[in-house]
Copies of this chain bind each other. A is one copy, B any other.
């Protein structure tokens, strides 16, 4: 019989039981469910709602159950619907009467929210760690190839030369914002719903502050959030609003209906994951391109490549293709959750049971994407010779040449036009800008002088960059220093 079966005369049909069960996936919450029950039992005892003896039996029983689950000895039962009922019923089997008191002043509505927030909090920490690992791998790759110039693209057409390190650090910077988003989300999610009960709270004398603190929703938070997570990207607010700060000391929901019925914390979480996934999909695309025969800039090691079942010569950069492709499911998961929540009235609706699988899938996927991207970054080589040979094509120095004319006080638009004509000449001749003689250049504009050759060629172009954040060697070196320090990388620059 179901634990809620009091007023029911018929039992649920098999099809309905199978369709409505969640134990097949929500058992992933077992550790956090037990954590929540421990805190709840301790609070009930301190408040006199159960005896200390009951509490001790409950805690001992929960230890036993946790052990069984971890040893794979726990029999999950579909007829017990979900993780909460499975554990509570097993506890009753184990310790009897005291277990029947555990659900005092608690509903599955606040219980599942609590479990899920605890789970997500851990997931965010795990993702942020992997973001950092990928950042480190990218910075190391930048250090290994510090002076290497590559073509910079817009429209996938060659645009201007950039240092490879500069390009790699663009990803590092994007990932830093990704971490910032996750940490903001963590802060906003880290409020304790336990004690909201079904939706309205309770008349029993519970202490929500005690459970909140025990579960790390309040004070521990203050200690645990490392300030350096403050990214360059959050937390700006000085002087602090002390009134609201006081409120924050107790990170519990002040409205019980909101506490149990909103899922914005996972919507925000999956949004953040989706944006990270987009960044990784772009890295995936870029590296798949660069590993092609036509680009030939990047050589993945055999350990991160796969072959073909029919074509013996193939060596494919599959991990990065899958990184690109798996972004799709992270986005699909977000869309599922958005559609799920749309138009639901308050408070809890059973639809919300569907909130978990997209989150589990999104987390698993994004973690894999980050791990494999880092592993790939650690196992690629840039084909410096091929890159160097390829650099002359595409007139990457054309803009530098236009800037040369600007320095000679030619208005930029006129400069642009002059250089455009010089490029057209090169195209017709199939030569480089630096191959044009001074006379040829002067036939287009008399402003050209012999110092022009200090601005032509890819190396000269790179040398000329100087603006803050640009691809100039010193600017990039400063960026590298910043990240090496921030990410606490022990620097072993090559050569």
Contact = CB atoms under 8 A, between A and B. Distances in A.
A147 interface: no
A227 to B, nearest CB: 5
A235 to B, nearest CB: 4
A61 to B, nearest CB: 14
A423 B313 contact: yes
Contact of A252 (B233, B256, B469): B469
Counted per complex, copies of this chain come to 4
Contacts of A29: none
A254 to B, nearest CB: 5
A234 B187 contact: yes
What is the predominant secondary structure among interface residues of chain A facing chain B? helix
Contacts of A104: 406, 411-412
Contacts of A271: 267-268, 271-272, 274-275
Given A339-B331, A469-B253, A469-B259, A293 B200 contact: no
A237 B244 contact: no
Contacts of A173: 232, 253-255, 258
A171 B255 CA distance: 10
A382 interface: no
Contacts of A200: 152, 159-162, 166, 465, 470-471
Given A202-B465, A248-B232, A354-B328, A344 B285 contact: yes
Nearest to A470: B201
Nearest to A109: B154
Interface residues of A, number: 234
Contacts of A414: 100
A5 B307 CA distance: 7
A197, A252, A421, most chain B CB atoms within 10 A: A197
A336 to B, nearest CB: 3
Given A4-B308, A304-B16, A331-B335, A398 B479 contact: no
A236 B231 contact: no
A34 interface: no
A152 B310 CA distance: 14
Contacts of A102: 412
A230 B321 CA distance: 34
A305 B5 CA distance: 11
A19 B322 contact: yes
26 contacts: A4-B309, A4-B420, A8-B302, A8-B305, A13-B379, A16-B375, A85-B309, A100-B412, A108-B309, A154-B199, A155-B348, A157-B293, A159-B199, A160-B311, A170-B257, A176-B233, A179-B234, A187-B234, A198-B308, A204-B406, A209-B468, A264-B279, A271-B274, A294-B390, A329-B336, A342-B342
A169 interface: yes
A310 B256 contact: no
A295 interface: yes
A395 B492 CA distance: 38
A401 to B, nearest CB: 8
A334 B328 CA distance: 10
Given A152-B347, A177-B264, A230-B237, 20 more contacts: A7-B307, A7-B313, A8-B307, A19-B322, A92-B413, A105-B406, A151-B293, A158-B293, A170-B257, A181-B268, A198-B310, A200-B465, A201-B469, A206-B467, A278-B341, A282-B346, A313-B419, A331-B335, A332-B339, A339-B339
